[in-house]
Structure 1
Protein backbone atom coordinates (compact mmCIF):
# COMPACT_ATOMS: atom_id res chain seq x y z
CA UNK A 1 0.00 0.00 0.00
CA UNK A 2 0.96 3.62 -0.46
CA UNK A 3 2.05 6.34 1.93
CA UNK A 4 -0.34 9.21 2.57
CA UNK A 5 1.44 12.55 2.92
CA UNK A 6 -0.75 15.24 4.47
CA UNK A 7 0.72 18.64 3.58
CA UNK A 8 -0.33 21.70 5.51
CA UNK A 9 1.21 24.94 4.31
CA UNK A 10 -0.77 28.19 4.48
CA UNK A 11 0.93 29.55 1.33
CA UNK A 12 2.20 26.64 -0.70
CA UNK A 13 2.69 28.69 -3.86
CA UNK A 14 5.23 30.90 -2.04
CA UNK A 15 6.92 27.95 -0.37
CA UNK A 16 10.26 26.80 -1.66
CA UNK A 17 11.13 23.70 0.35
CA UNK A 18 7.66 22.27 1.03
CA UNK A 19 6.68 22.86 -2.58
CA UNK A 20 9.88 21.17 -3.82
CA UNK A 21 9.28 18.21 -1.52
CA UNK A 22 5.69 17.84 -2.72
CA UNK A 23 6.82 18.03 -6.36
CA UNK A 24 9.37 15.28 -5.69
CA UNK A 25 6.75 13.02 -4.11
CA UNK A 26 4.35 13.57 -7.01
CA UNK A 27 6.93 11.98 -9.31
CA UNK A 28 6.03 8.64 -7.68
CA UNK A 29 2.21 8.40 -7.72
CA UNK A 30 2.43 4.64 -7.27
CA UNK A 31 4.14 5.12 -3.87
CA UNK A 32 2.71 8.35 -2.42
CA UNK A 33 -0.58 10.17 -2.22
CA UNK A 34 0.04 13.89 -1.65
CA UNK A 35 -2.92 15.53 0.08
CA UNK A 36 -2.77 19.31 0.51
CA UNK A 37 -5.13 20.33 3.31
CA UNK A 38 -5.27 24.00 2.33
CA UNK A 39 -6.19 23.09 -1.23
CA UNK A 40 -8.75 20.50 -0.10
CA UNK A 41 -10.32 22.76 2.54
CA UNK A 42 -9.84 26.44 1.65
CA UNK A 43 -12.83 27.24 3.86
CA UNK A 44 -11.37 25.28 6.80
CA UNK A 45 -14.35 22.87 6.93
CA UNK A 46 -12.77 19.43 7.13
CA UNK A 47 -14.66 16.37 5.88
CA UNK A 48 -13.75 14.08 8.77
CA UNK A 49 -15.15 10.89 7.26
CA UNK A 50 -13.29 11.49 3.98
CA UNK A 51 -10.03 12.11 5.85
CA UNK A 52 -10.45 8.98 7.94
CA UNK A 53 -11.15 6.90 4.84
CA UNK A 54 -8.08 8.35 3.17
CA UNK A 55 -5.90 7.31 6.11
CA UNK A 56 -7.44 3.84 6.19
CA UNK A 57 -6.65 3.39 2.47
CA UNK A 58 -2.91 3.89 3.08
CA UNK A 59 -0.33 1.90 5.00
CA UNK A 60 1.78 4.83 6.25
CA UNK A 61 1.02 8.42 7.26
CA UNK A 62 3.37 11.41 7.04
CA UNK A 63 2.47 14.92 8.15
CA UNK A 64 4.46 17.56 6.24
CA UNK A 65 4.45 21.20 7.35
CA UNK A 66 6.56 24.25 8.14
CA UNK A 67 7.29 24.70 11.83
CA UNK A 68 4.93 27.55 12.60
CA UNK A 69 5.62 29.39 15.84
CA UNK A 70 7.28 26.21 17.13
CA UNK A 71 4.28 24.05 16.33
CA UNK A 72 2.19 23.32 13.26
CA UNK A 73 0.02 25.57 11.10
CA UNK A 74 -3.48 26.00 12.61
CA UNK A 75 -5.24 23.90 9.95
CA UNK A 76 -3.12 20.86 10.87
CA UNK A 77 -4.00 21.27 14.55
CA UNK A 78 -7.66 21.49 13.55
CA UNK A 79 -7.24 18.39 11.39
CA UNK A 80 -5.73 16.46 14.31
CA UNK A 81 -8.52 17.60 16.65
CA UNK A 82 -11.31 16.68 14.24
CA UNK A 83 -9.99 13.58 12.44
CA UNK A 84 -8.32 11.66 15.27
CA UNK A 85 -11.56 10.94 17.09
CA UNK A 86 -12.40 8.75 20.05
CA UNK A 87 -13.54 5.35 18.83
CA UNK A 88 -11.62 5.75 15.57
CA UNK A 89 -8.04 6.77 16.44
CA UNK A 90 -8.00 6.00 20.16
CA UNK A 91 -10.15 4.61 22.97
CA UNK A 92 -11.26 1.07 23.62
CA UNK A 93 -12.40 0.60 20.00
CA UNK A 94 -10.24 3.22 18.32
CA UNK A 95 -7.60 1.28 16.44
CA UNK A 96 -7.26 2.88 13.01
CA UNK A 97 -3.78 4.24 13.74
CA UNK A 98 -2.62 1.27 15.77
CA UNK A 99 0.74 0.04 14.45
CA UNK A 100 0.46 2.34 11.42
CA UNK A 101 3.89 3.77 10.60
CA UNK A 102 3.77 7.53 11.02
CA UNK A 103 6.29 10.33 10.67
CA UNK A 104 6.72 14.05 10.27
CA UNK A 105 8.48 16.09 7.60
CA UNK A 106 9.12 19.65 8.70
CA UNK A 107 10.84 22.77 7.52
CA UNK A 108 12.33 25.10 10.09
CA UNK A 109 13.27 28.71 9.47
CA UNK A 110 16.13 28.59 11.97
CA UNK A 111 19.45 26.91 11.41
CA UNK A 112 20.10 23.49 12.93
CA UNK A 113 22.59 24.96 15.41
CA UNK A 114 19.81 27.29 16.68
CA UNK A 115 17.77 24.23 17.69
CA UNK A 116 20.16 23.04 20.40
CA UNK A 117 20.44 23.60 24.15
CA UNK A 118 23.29 26.01 23.50
CA UNK A 119 21.63 27.61 20.48
CA UNK A 120 19.46 30.65 20.05
CA UNK A 121 16.22 28.70 20.60
CA UNK A 122 17.47 26.38 23.41
CA UNK A 123 15.31 23.47 22.29
CA UNK A 124 15.74 20.86 19.59
CA UNK A 125 13.08 20.02 17.05
CA UNK A 126 12.69 16.66 18.76
CA UNK A 127 11.52 18.52 21.88
CA UNK A 128 9.33 20.99 20.00
CA UNK A 129 7.68 18.21 18.01
CA UNK A 130 7.11 15.95 21.03
CA UNK A 131 3.33 16.66 21.10
CA UNK A 132 3.08 14.86 17.74
CA UNK A 133 5.15 11.96 19.04
CA UNK A 134 2.88 11.79 22.10
CA UNK A 135 -0.28 12.00 19.98
CA UNK A 136 0.82 9.10 17.80
CA UNK A 137 1.92 7.12 20.86
CA UNK A 138 -1.47 7.72 22.50
CA UNK A 139 -3.16 6.40 19.36
CA UNK A 140 -0.92 3.32 19.27
CA UNK A 141 0.78 4.31 16.03
CA UNK A 142 4.34 3.35 15.18
CA UNK A 143 5.91 6.82 15.18
CA UNK A 144 9.17 6.89 13.20
CA UNK A 145 10.43 10.41 14.03
CA UNK A 146 10.87 13.31 11.62
CA UNK A 147 12.76 14.54 8.59
CA UNK A 148 13.78 18.19 8.70
CA UNK A 149 15.10 20.98 6.55
CA UNK A 150 16.74 23.70 8.64
CA UNK A 151 17.52 27.31 7.78
CA UNK A 152 14.72 27.93 5.30
CA UNK A 153 14.48 31.61 6.18
CA UNK A 154 18.19 32.14 5.50
CA UNK A 155 18.37 30.49 2.10
CA UNK A 156 18.37 32.28 -1.26
CA UNK A 157 16.49 30.57 -4.07
CA UNK A 158 18.83 31.89 -6.77
CA UNK A 159 21.97 30.53 -5.07
CA UNK A 160 23.29 27.40 -6.89
CA UNK A 161 24.47 25.90 -3.57
CA UNK A 162 20.99 26.33 -2.16
CA UNK A 163 19.41 24.67 -5.20
CA UNK A 164 21.75 21.69 -4.79
CA UNK A 165 20.92 21.54 -1.08
CA UNK A 166 17.22 21.61 -1.96
CA UNK A 167 17.59 18.76 -4.47
CA UNK A 168 19.58 16.68 -1.98
CA UNK A 169 16.95 17.39 0.66
CA UNK A 170 14.10 16.32 -1.64
CA UNK A 171 15.81 13.02 -2.45
CA UNK A 172 16.63 12.52 1.23
CA UNK A 173 12.95 13.02 2.03
CA UNK A 174 11.92 10.31 -0.44
CA UNK A 175 14.55 7.97 1.07
CA UNK A 176 13.28 8.76 4.59
CA UNK A 177 9.71 7.84 3.67
CA UNK A 178 10.83 4.69 1.86
CA UNK A 179 12.58 3.52 5.04
CA UNK A 180 9.48 3.86 7.25
Structure 2
Protein backbone atom coordinates (compact mmCIF):
# COMPACT_ATOMS: atom_id res chain seq x y z
CA UNK A 1 0.00 0.00 0.00
CA UNK A 2 2.84 2.39 0.87
CA UNK A 3 4.43 1.85 -2.57
CA UNK A 4 1.13 2.58 -4.29
CA UNK A 5 0.79 5.84 -2.37
CA UNK A 6 4.33 6.89 -3.26
CA UNK A 7 3.80 6.04 -6.93
CA UNK A 8 0.51 7.93 -6.96
CA UNK A 9 2.06 11.01 -5.39
CA UNK A 10 4.96 10.89 -7.85
CA UNK A 11 2.60 10.63 -10.83
CA UNK A 12 0.38 13.42 -9.56
CA UNK A 13 3.34 15.67 -8.83
CA UNK A 14 4.58 15.19 -12.38
CA UNK A 15 1.09 15.84 -13.75
CA UNK A 16 0.68 19.18 -12.03
CA UNK A 17 4.28 20.35 -11.92
CA UNK A 18 5.34 19.80 -15.53
CA UNK A 19 4.02 23.19 -16.59
CA UNK A 20 3.47 24.98 -13.29
CA UNK A 21 4.19 28.22 -15.15
CA UNK A 22 0.75 27.89 -16.72
CA UNK A 23 -1.85 29.32 -14.36
CA UNK A 24 -4.13 26.33 -13.78
CA UNK A 25 -7.59 25.90 -12.28
CA UNK A 26 -8.44 22.38 -11.11
CA UNK A 27 -12.13 21.60 -10.74
CA UNK A 28 -12.57 18.49 -8.58
CA UNK A 29 -15.71 16.43 -8.09
CA UNK A 30 -16.32 13.08 -6.45
CA UNK A 31 -19.84 11.83 -5.63
CA UNK A 32 -18.48 9.60 -2.84
CA UNK A 33 -15.60 11.60 -1.32
CA UNK A 34 -15.43 9.39 1.78
CA UNK A 35 -14.34 6.46 -0.39
CA UNK A 36 -12.00 8.43 -2.63
CA UNK A 37 -8.33 7.60 -2.53
CA UNK A 38 -6.86 8.34 -5.92
CA UNK A 39 -8.79 11.56 -6.58
CA UNK A 40 -7.97 12.83 -3.07
CA UNK A 41 -4.27 12.17 -3.65
CA UNK A 42 -4.30 13.98 -7.01
CA UNK A 43 -6.21 16.88 -5.46
CA UNK A 44 -3.72 17.09 -2.61
CA UNK A 45 -0.79 17.11 -5.03
CA UNK A 46 -2.44 19.84 -7.11
CA UNK A 47 -2.91 22.01 -4.01
CA UNK A 48 0.85 21.93 -3.42
CA UNK A 49 1.81 23.35 -6.82
CA UNK A 50 2.41 27.05 -7.40
CA UNK A 51 0.04 28.73 -9.89
CA UNK A 52 -2.61 26.04 -9.33
CA UNK A 53 -5.95 26.76 -7.67
CA UNK A 54 -8.18 23.85 -6.69
CA UNK A 55 -11.96 24.12 -6.37
CA UNK A 56 -13.64 21.01 -4.97
CA UNK A 57 -17.30 21.27 -5.96
CA UNK A 58 -18.68 19.08 -3.16
CA UNK A 59 -16.62 20.97 -0.55
CA UNK A 60 -17.87 24.30 -1.89
CA UNK A 61 -21.49 23.46 -2.72
CA UNK A 62 -22.27 20.16 -1.02
CA UNK A 63 -24.24 17.80 -3.23
CA UNK A 64 -26.84 20.35 -4.29
CA UNK A 65 -26.56 20.62 -8.07
CA UNK A 66 -28.63 23.84 -7.93
CA UNK A 67 -26.26 25.60 -5.51
CA UNK A 68 -23.40 26.34 -7.92
CA UNK A 69 -22.77 30.06 -8.37
CA UNK A 70 -22.15 30.23 -12.13
CA UNK A 71 -21.34 33.95 -12.13
CA UNK A 72 -18.67 33.54 -9.44
CA UNK A 73 -17.22 30.45 -11.12
CA UNK A 74 -17.00 32.28 -14.49
CA UNK A 75 -15.15 35.18 -12.83
CA UNK A 76 -12.67 32.77 -11.24
CA UNK A 77 -12.19 30.82 -14.49
CA UNK A 78 -11.26 34.00 -16.37
CA UNK A 79 -8.04 34.21 -14.35
CA UNK A 80 -6.59 30.90 -15.61
CA UNK A 81 -5.06 29.59 -18.84
CA UNK A 82 -5.64 25.88 -18.21
CA UNK A 83 -8.72 24.23 -16.74
CA UNK A 84 -8.31 20.70 -15.38
CA UNK A 85 -11.37 18.60 -14.61
CA UNK A 86 -10.52 15.93 -12.02
CA UNK A 87 -13.16 13.29 -11.27
CA UNK A 88 -13.93 9.58 -11.21
CA UNK A 89 -15.75 8.27 -14.27
CA UNK A 90 -19.36 8.06 -13.18
CA UNK A 91 -21.35 5.61 -15.28
CA UNK A 92 -19.30 6.39 -18.43
CA UNK A 93 -19.61 10.11 -17.81
CA UNK A 94 -18.67 13.05 -15.61
CA UNK A 95 -20.09 13.32 -12.08
CA UNK A 96 -23.45 14.98 -11.34
CA UNK A 97 -21.81 18.02 -9.69
CA UNK A 98 -19.38 18.39 -12.61
CA UNK A 99 -22.33 18.39 -15.02
CA UNK A 100 -24.14 20.97 -12.87
CA UNK A 101 -20.96 23.08 -12.79
CA UNK A 102 -20.78 23.05 -16.59
CA UNK A 103 -24.49 23.86 -16.88
CA UNK A 104 -24.29 26.83 -14.50
CA UNK A 105 -20.84 28.15 -15.40
CA UNK A 106 -20.68 27.53 -19.15
CA UNK A 107 -24.27 26.76 -20.16
CA UNK A 108 -25.86 30.03 -21.19
CA UNK A 109 -22.87 32.05 -22.32
CA UNK A 110 -22.30 30.94 -25.90
CA UNK A 111 -19.42 29.94 -28.17
CA UNK A 112 -15.79 30.95 -27.63
CA UNK A 113 -16.38 31.62 -23.92
CA UNK A 114 -12.87 30.40 -23.01
CA UNK A 115 -11.08 31.10 -26.31
CA UNK A 116 -7.36 30.39 -26.03
CA UNK A 117 -7.55 28.38 -22.79
CA UNK A 118 -6.69 24.70 -22.46
CA UNK A 119 -8.84 21.89 -21.06
CA UNK A 120 -7.47 18.72 -19.52
CA UNK A 121 -9.66 15.85 -18.31
CA UNK A 122 -8.13 13.68 -15.57
CA UNK A 123 -10.31 10.74 -14.58
CA UNK A 124 -10.28 7.38 -12.88
CA UNK A 125 -12.44 4.32 -13.48
CA UNK A 126 -13.01 1.08 -11.64
CA UNK A 127 -13.22 -0.87 -14.88
CA UNK A 128 -10.03 -2.10 -16.46
CA UNK A 129 -9.12 -3.82 -19.73
CA UNK A 130 -12.19 -6.05 -19.54
CA UNK A 131 -14.34 -2.91 -19.72
CA UNK A 132 -12.37 -0.43 -21.84
CA UNK A 133 -10.39 -0.78 -25.07
CA UNK A 134 -11.26 -2.40 -28.38
CA UNK A 135 -11.53 -5.81 -26.68
CA UNK A 136 -13.42 -4.54 -23.64
CA UNK A 137 -17.18 -4.69 -23.04
CA UNK A 138 -17.77 -1.08 -24.14
CA UNK A 139 -15.40 -1.35 -27.10
CA UNK A 140 -13.70 2.04 -26.70
CA UNK A 141 -10.82 3.47 -24.73
CA UNK A 142 -11.58 5.20 -21.42
CA UNK A 143 -10.06 8.46 -22.71
CA UNK A 144 -12.60 8.42 -25.54
CA UNK A 145 -15.59 8.25 -23.17
CA UNK A 146 -15.32 12.02 -22.69
CA UNK A 147 -16.22 13.14 -26.21
CA UNK A 148 -18.79 15.52 -24.67
CA UNK A 149 -15.97 17.28 -22.80
CA UNK A 150 -14.06 17.63 -26.07
CA UNK A 151 -17.19 19.06 -27.72
CA UNK A 152 -17.55 21.49 -24.80
CA UNK A 153 -13.92 22.57 -25.15
CA UNK A 154 -14.28 23.02 -28.91
CA UNK A 155 -17.49 25.03 -28.47
CA UNK A 156 -15.83 27.22 -25.83
CA UNK A 157 -12.80 27.88 -28.09
CA UNK A 158 -10.41 25.84 -25.96
CA UNK A 159 -7.57 23.53 -26.86
CA UNK A 160 -8.56 20.04 -25.71
CA UNK A 161 -5.54 18.22 -24.30
CA UNK A 162 -5.22 14.43 -24.43
CA UNK A 163 -7.11 13.10 -21.34
CA UNK A 164 -5.13 11.52 -18.55
CA UNK A 165 -7.05 8.47 -17.38
CA UNK A 166 -6.40 5.75 -14.84
CA UNK A 167 -8.44 2.56 -15.11
CA UNK A 168 -8.77 -0.47 -12.88
CA UNK A 169 -8.85 1.77 -9.79
CA UNK A 170 -10.53 0.42 -6.65
CA UNK A 171 -10.49 1.08 -2.94
Q: TM-score, normalised by structure 1?
A: 0.76
Instruction: Tell me how far 1:80 sits from its aligned partner.
Output: 0.9
Per-residue CA deviation, residues 65-104 of structure 1 (Å, 9 max, x unaligned), is: 1000000111111111111134x4x34xxx4311101110
> How does 1:144-155 map onto structure 2 within 5 Å?
144-153=161-170
Match of 1:123 in 2: 140
> How does 1:1-180 map onto structure 2 within 5 Å?
2-28=23-49, 30-42=50-62, 43-44=64-65, 45-86=67-108, 88=109, 90-91=110-111, 95-112=112-129, 114-153=131-170
Tell me, in whole angstroms, the C-alpha distance in 2 between the residues paired with 1:107 and 1:138: 25
Q: Kindly tell me the number of residue pairs found equivalent between the two proteins.
A: 148
Instruction: Tell me how far 1:125 sits from its aligned partner.
Output: 1.8
Tell me, in whole angstroms, the C-alpha distance in 2 between the residues paired with 1:37 and 1:76: 8
The answer to whether the 8 Å contact 1:56/1:96 transfers is: no
The answer to whether the 8 Å contact 1:109/1:152 transfers is: yes
The answer to whether the 8 Å contact 1:133/1:145 transfers is: no
Per-residue CA deviation, residues 12-63 of structure 1 (Å, 9 max, x unaligned), is: 23201000101111122x2211100011111331111110011001111011
Tell me, in whole angstroms, the C-alpha distance in 2 between the residues paired with 1:114 and 1:53: 39
Tell me, in whole angstroms, the C-alpha distance in 2 between the residues paired with 1:74 and 1:117: 27
Instruction: Tell me how far 1:135 sits from its aligned partner.
Output: 1.1
Q: How large is the RMSD of aligned CA atoms in angstroms?
A: 1.6
